[in-house]
Amino acid sequence: MGTELMDAFDLSYQPSQLLGIPVALVGAVFLSVGAQLQHHGVAKVEATAGRAESGLNARQLGLLLARPSWVIGTLLLGLSIVFQLVSLKLSPIILVQPLGVVGLVITSILNARVSGVKLNHQSVIAVTLCVSGVGAFVLLAAVFARDLPVTSRALVVILIILAVVLIAFGVLFAFLRHRFKAIIYIVGAGVLYGFVATLAKVAIDRISNQEWDWLLVACIVALLLAAVLGAYFVQNAYSSGPPDLVIAGLTVIDPMVAVTIGIVVLNEAAGAPWWAMVGFALTGAVAVLGVFRLAKYHPQSASDAPVADRITDVASQSGLD
């Protein structure tokens, strides 16, 4: 094991790969604050215009544009995307994408301050699991992840899988949206954003290498479709769950999808020894456990009242519009 570790440092480890880590962490901060503001805006709109039983309608989406909190939150999320794209340019997906879990920790603390609800003991344990699991995962990735060029064949495979996913979610939403709950929207958004991160990295690499072809166009179109549908799912998730739950789902499913694509399709962990792969699985499982424990034991997660009703008591104290 010692020899394999030293070989990994010699062959895979490049100091330049670490540059994406601080960039991704800054993006996680913007994600947290933006999510809190967007969640507040959606809840305020539903409190005044009624709940969206089968997804936000055009009128409610228009009212969101009149909410300063939602608009500012959207701008911050836009900044988080920019930082994410830069981090993906600097580092492999497997190294920087899991850092989004840090946004969950920040969101939990921020939401507790805004709502006046303190984190309980179980929530603190969950946060510790998230941080330790992600920290160990990123440490392994920093050693063994390789930033390899994406082949045309790999890109075609990714696009085909995404097409199937888009069709599946489209059909489900068309026929079963009246039964959709927060977790369905969260899972859908997490899967779609995982593909968005992957396609964004592919597009950046192909543009940097001046590979202008129909695959690049298809990549960008697919990226935009997945991003728009994922954003719509997120807004609907805000209407039926606290921001902690939304960010918890996204920071588990999004990186897991992106990392799985990175390992299976893009071969970013090619050459890693078996014990490193076991380490990826175990540290990822610890982070996932922490996220779900946080979603389960967070004080606000225990409330059965609709989000629009729960936010009324704290809206006037939060200073948000």
User: Which of 210-214, 264-268, 290-294 ranks highest by mean pLDDT?
Assistant: 210-214
- The backbone torsions φ and ψ at residue 142, rounded to the nearest 5 degrees and listed phi first, read -65, -30
Residues near 123 by beta carbon (within 8 Å), at least 6 away in sequence: 108, 293, 294, 297, 298, 299
CA distance 165 to 175: 16
Lowest mean pLDDT among 71-80, 186-195, 197-206, 309-318: 309-318
Q: Is the dihedral of CA 244, 192, 155, 27 positive or negative?
A: negative
CA distance 181 to 237: 8
- The backbone torsions φ and ψ at residue 53, rounded to the nearest 5 degrees and listed phi first, read -75, -25
CB 140 within 8 A of CB 279: yes
pLDDT higher than threshold 60 for residue 310: no
- For helices 101-115 and 274-297, give the axis angle rounded to 10 degrees: 10
Q: What is the pTM (predicted TM-score) of this model?
A: 0.77
pLDDT tens sequence across 172-213 = 877 776 666 667 788 888 889 889 888 888 888 888 888 888
Q: How far is CA 2 from CA 87, 130, 142, 286, in A?
A: 30, 27, 17, 24
Query: Tell me, what's the pLDDT at 312?
Result: 45
pLDDT tens sequence across 144-163 = 767 677 788 888 999 999 99
193 vs 237, higher pLDDT? 193
DSSP state, residue 179: G
What are the residue ranges of helices labelled H in the chain? 2-11, 20-49, 58-64, 68-90, 93-96, 101-115, 121-144, 152-176, 182-208, 214-238, 243-264, 274-297, 307-310, 312-318
